A = this chain, B = another copy of it.
Amino acid sequence: MSENKNKIFFVMGVSGVGKSTVGELLGKELAIPYFDGDDFHSHENVEKMSKGEPLNDYDRLGWLKTLNKLAKDQLKDHSCVIVCSALKEKYRTILSDDIENNIKWIHLVGSFELISERMKQRSDHFMPTELLKSQFDILENPKKSINISIKLTPIEIVEAIRKELFDKSEFGLFGLGVMGKSLSRNLANKGFNISIFNRHVDGVEENIAVNFKNEYKELSTALPFDDMEGFVNSLQKPRKIMLMVNAGKITDMVIENIVPYLSAGDVLIDGGNSNYLKTKKRFFYLKSKNIHFIGAGVSGGEEGALTGPSIMPGGDKEVYKMVQPFLETIAAKDQNNLPCCNYIGKEGSGHFVKMVHNGIEYAEMQLLAEVYGIYSAMGNNPDEIADILESWQKTASSYLLDITNEILRKKEGDHWLVDKIMDKAGNKGTGNWATIATAQLGVPSTLIASALFARYTSFYKEDRVELHKKYREDTSKTKPNLLNNEVLKAYQFSRIINHYQGFKLISDASKAYKWELNLSEIARIWTNGCILKSTLMWELVETLKGTENLLMNKKIIQQIKELKPSITKVVSQCVLNELAIPCLSESINFFNSLTTANSTANLIQAQRDYFGAHTYQRIDDGSENFYHTNWK
C-alpha cells in the first residue's frame, strides 16, 4: 500500500503549464507507463476539435470514462502517469470513479501572466489569451493534490514530486503510549509509510520514537520524531495525523500546539477516548482554521490496536474518505472479512458510539464480576469457576468471558492471582460520561449506571471493611441455592437487557442530534477487534436491521421468556443471601418496569401536582391537556 505500487498519478492543470513534458519525465523517473490523455479522444471528438469547435461536457463524458477505464486497467498490474487537464471537480469525479484512494493529483500551478508570457515564446503551441483566461475561469482547485509551481524547471518539478511522494510519509501517529505504539506497528505491518512522534521530556520521555523504531523490524522505514515541526513536515499533504494522547486538556493542548505547523486541508484524527461534546467543539474550532477533524473511537486495547481494532470514526463523510484506506486496512475484519470500521456519522458521533461501547462494556464486566461473586459465595475456587464459565462458551461466547477464564486460572506459585488483587475498580471516564449522557438525554441505560456506581462503591474499601464489621460479622453466612444453568440464563438475560439499553441510548441520541446512525452497522463494527465482541453481538447485526428496539424482536422475545424464570430466581436468592448483585438485580427490575403497562408514576404525578402545581395528564383524555387539582 506504499506509494510506488498501484497508484495513478494524474498530472493536471490549465493549458500551457507543461503537463506533457512533466508527465513524460515523471513516468521515466518512476519507471512506469506514461499516457497523454489527449490521445484517447474518440473519433467524433477529434473531428470536432479539428473543425475548431470546442468540446462540451457531454462530449467529454465518454473520454473521461475511457481514461478512468485506462487507469483501472493499468492498476491491475502497476502504477502509471496520465496527463489530463481535469479542471473541474466533476471531471475528476469521473476520472477517479471507484479508484479514489489510488489516485494522486499532481497539480502544476502558475499565474496567468507567467503562462501567457511563456506561450508567446512558444511558436509551436499558440493559444489566444482569451482561451487561457477561460481555462482559469473553469479551473476548480482540487482539495487533495500535490501542488507544484511551474517556476521550477521540468526536472526540478519531477524531483519535487518525487520528494513529496517518497521521502514523505503517508500517515502520522502522534503519541506513543500503549495504544499509539500498537497502532503504529499495525500501520507499518500493513505497508504504510508512517511518521511517528513522541514528545521529549527531560529524564522522563527521551528518544521514545527513535528507540521504538529500532525495537521493531516493521518500523524500519518509519520516520521517528520528537520535534513537532519536523514530524509535521515529514508528511505528504494533505497530512493525515492520528493523535493518540490522553483525552481532555492534553488533547486540547496538543491541538493548540500542532495547528500552527499544519496547512489548510490537513486532517487530524483524535483516536483517544474523548468526550463527544468536546469532539464537537474541536471539530468546529478546527473547521474555523481550515483543518479537518475526525473523532475516532478505537476499541480493542493494546492487542486489538496491534492486530486489528474496532474503529468508530465520526466527522465529515468526505473527510473520512481521505483516511478510510488507512483506518479500514488496520481495522479488524468481521466474519465476512469486512473491516470493523466504517463512517459512523457527523461531529462527535464516533466518540459517542465509542462511549456507549465502553458503557456496555462496564456492565458486561460487572455482570461477570457478579457471577464470579455468586460462585465464590457458593464455595467454588477460581479454577472451579473457570471450569463452569468455560462450559458457557457454547451458548454465551465472548471475548470478556474468554479473558475472565484466563484470569481466574492464572496462578502465582500456589495461589490464584485474582485473590491478591485489590478490589477497588478504576474508571477512565467513558462509563461516567455514558451515565451522564443517559441522564441528560432522558434514556434509562440503567445497567451502565449500576456498573459505574458499583465501581464507585468498590472504592470505599475502608468503609466497606468497617461496615462489614459493624453489620455482618455477627450474622451467619448462608449460600444461594442455584443450578449452573440458572446462573447462565440469568447472565444471558441481563446481557440482552444491557445491549438493548446501549443501542437504545445510541438510537435516541441519533434522533436527538440528527446523526442518522446505522445501529446494525455499529453492531457489525463491534463483532471483532473490540472488547464487546461476542456471538450475541453478531446475532444483533441481523436483529438490528429489522428494529431499533431489540425487545420488540420475535427471537429476542422468545429468548427472554425462556431466560426470565432464572433471572428471577437468581436475583431473589442473592438478595436473600446478602449478595451484592446491582446489575443482575437492575436488569430484572428494569425489565419489569418496561413491561408494566400501567405503572405507579401516576402517584408521582399527583404528588408533584400537590406540592408544586406541576399539573398532570389524564388517561381518559387523549388530547394531552394538562390538569391541576386542589388536593386538600
In this complex, the member of A455, A458, A586 whose beta carbon has the largest number of chain B beta carbons within 10 angstroms is A458
If A372-B600, A571-B575 touch, whether A617 touches B421 (CB-CB below 8 Å) is yes
Say if the beta carbon of A576 comes within 8 Å of chain B: yes
Partner of A605, one of B423, B460, B573, B616: B423
Choose the segment among A9-17, A31-39, A52-60, A434-442 that binds chain B (4+ C-beta atoms closer than 8 Å).
A434-442
Quickly give the copy total for this chain: 2
A631 touches B435 (CB 8 A): no
Report A388-412 residues with CB < 8 Å from chain B CB: 399-400, 403-404, 406-408, 410
Say if the beta carbon of A76 comes within 8 Å of chain B: no
- Against B, the Cβ 8 Å flags (1 = close, 0 = not) of A364-391 are 0110111011001000000000000000
A611 touches B403 (CB 8 A): yes
Say if the beta carbon of A450 comes within 8 Å of chain B: yes
Shortest Cβ distance from A435 into B: residue: B439
- Against B, the Cβ 8 Å flags (1 = close, 0 = not) of A514-535 are 0000000000000000010000
Minimum C-beta distance from A108 to chain B (A) = 49
Please name all residues of chain B whose beta carbon is closer than 8 Å to the beta carbon of A154 when the two chains form the complex: none
Say if the beta carbon of A457 comes within 8 Å of chain B: yes
Say if the beta carbon of A27 comes within 8 Å of chain B: no
Interface on chain A toward B: helix, strand, loop, or mixed SS?
Answer: helix
Shortest Cβ distance from A570 into B: residue: B575
Say if the beta carbon of A510 comes within 8 Å of chain B: no
Say if the beta carbon of A121 comes within 8 Å of chain B: no
B439 touches A603 (CB 8 A): no
Choose the segment among A62-70, A191-199, A344-352, A549-557 that binds chain B (4+ C-beta atoms closer than 8 Å).
A549-557
Please name all residues of chain B whose beta carbon is closer than 8 Å to the beta carbon of A443 when the two chains form the complex: 456
Shortest Cβ distance from A557 into B: residue: B470
If A608-B426, A631-B403 touch, whether A420 touches B618 (CB-CB below 8 Å) is yes
Partner of A468, one of B302, B365, B597, B629: B597
A578 touches B592 (CB 8 A): yes
Shortest Cβ distance from A573 into B: residue: B572
Q: How far is the CA of A423 from the CA of B618 in the complex (A)?
A: 8
B403 touches A602 (CB 8 A): no
A599 touches B422 (CB 8 A): no
Please name all residues of chain B whose beta carbon is closer than 8 Å to the beta carbon of A575 when the two chains form the complex: 568, 571-572, 575, 585, 588-589, 592
Partner of A603, one of B404, B424, B557, B590: B404
Please name all residues of chain B whose beta carbon is closer than 8 Å to the beta carbon of A614 when the two chains form the complex: 426, 428
In this complex, the member of A531, A552, A612 whose beta carbon has the largest number of chain B beta carbons within 10 angstroms is A612
Please name all residues of chain B whose beta carbon is closer than 8 Å to the beta carbon of A551 when the two chains form the complex: 467, 470
A607 touches B400 (CB 8 A): yes
Q: How far is the CA of A296 from the CA of B136 in the complex (A)?
A: 66
A456 touches B444 (CB 8 A): yes
Say if the beta carbon of A613 comes within 8 Å of chain B: yes
Say if the beta carbon of A539 comes within 8 Å of chain B: no
Please name all residues of chain B whose beta carbon is closer than 8 Å to the beta carbon of A604 when the two chains form the complex: 365-366, 369, 425, 455, 458
Please name all residues of chain B whose beta carbon is closer than 8 Å to the beta carbon of A590 when the two chains form the complex: 453, 457, 580, 582
B444 touches A407 (CB 8 A): no
A560 touches B406 (CB 8 A): no
Q: How far is the CA of A403 from the CA of B612 in the complex (A)?
A: 12
Say if the beta carbon of A301 comes within 8 Å of chain B: yes
Say if the beta carbon of A277 comes within 8 Å of chain B: no
Q: How far is the CA of A304 from the CA of B443 in the complex (A)?
A: 32
A470 touches B404 (CB 8 A): no
Q: How far is the CA of A601 from the CA of B453 in the complex (A)?
A: 12
Please name all residues of chain B whose beta carbon is closer than 8 Å to the beta carbon of A459 when the two chains form the complex: 442
Minimum C-beta distance from A293 to chain B (A) = 25
A613 touches B421 (CB 8 A): no
Q: How far is the CA of A347 from the CA of B472 in the complex (A)?
A: 41
Say if the beta carbon of A454 comes within 8 Å of chain B: yes
Minimum C-beta distance from A223 to chain B (A) = 26
Please name all residues of chain B whose beta carbon is closer than 8 Å to the beta carbon of A620 when the two chains form the complex: 420
Say if the beta carbon of A464 comes within 8 Å of chain B: yes
A303 touches B611 (CB 8 A): yes
Q: How far is the CA of A568 from the CA of B551 in the complex (A)?
A: 29
Minimum C-beta distance from A398 to chain B (A) = 12
B606 touches A454 (CB 8 A): no
Please name all residues of chain B whose beta carbon is closer than 8 Å to the beta carbon of A598 when the two chains form the complex: 423
A610 touches B369 (CB 8 A): no
Say if the beta carbon of A61 comes within 8 Å of chain B: no
B612 touches A302 (CB 8 A): yes
Say if the beta carbon of A463 comes within 8 Å of chain B: yes
Say if the beta carbon of A596 comes within 8 Å of chain B: yes
A420 touches B619 (CB 8 A): yes
Please name all residues of chain B whose beta carbon is closer than 8 Å to the beta carbon of A468 when the two chains form the complex: 595-597
Say if the beta carbon of A1 comes within 8 Å of chain B: no
Please name all residues of chain B whose beta carbon is closer than 8 Å to the beta carbon of A446 when the two chains form the complex: 449-450, 453, 582
Q: 8 closest pairs, A vs B, by CB?
A: A458-B601, A301-B611, A468-B597, A580-B593, A444-B453, A572-B572, A422-B617, A421-B602
Given contact pairs A403-B607, A432-B439, A572-B572, enumerate 18 new A-B contacts (beta carbons under 8 Å). A178-B613, A301-B610, A365-B608, A406-B610, A407-B606, A417-B606, A422-B617, A423-B599, A425-B604, A435-B439, A436-B440, A446-B582, A450-B586, A460-B594, A471-B595, A472-B597, A568-B575, A568-B578
Could you pull out 18 A-B pairs where Cβ atoms are within 8 angstroms? A178-B613, A302-B612, A302-B613, A303-B611, A373-B600, A407-B631, A417-B629, A418-B602, A444-B453, A457-B594, A464-B596, A465-B597, A467-B552, A468-B595, A531-B611, A580-B596, A582-B589, A582-B590
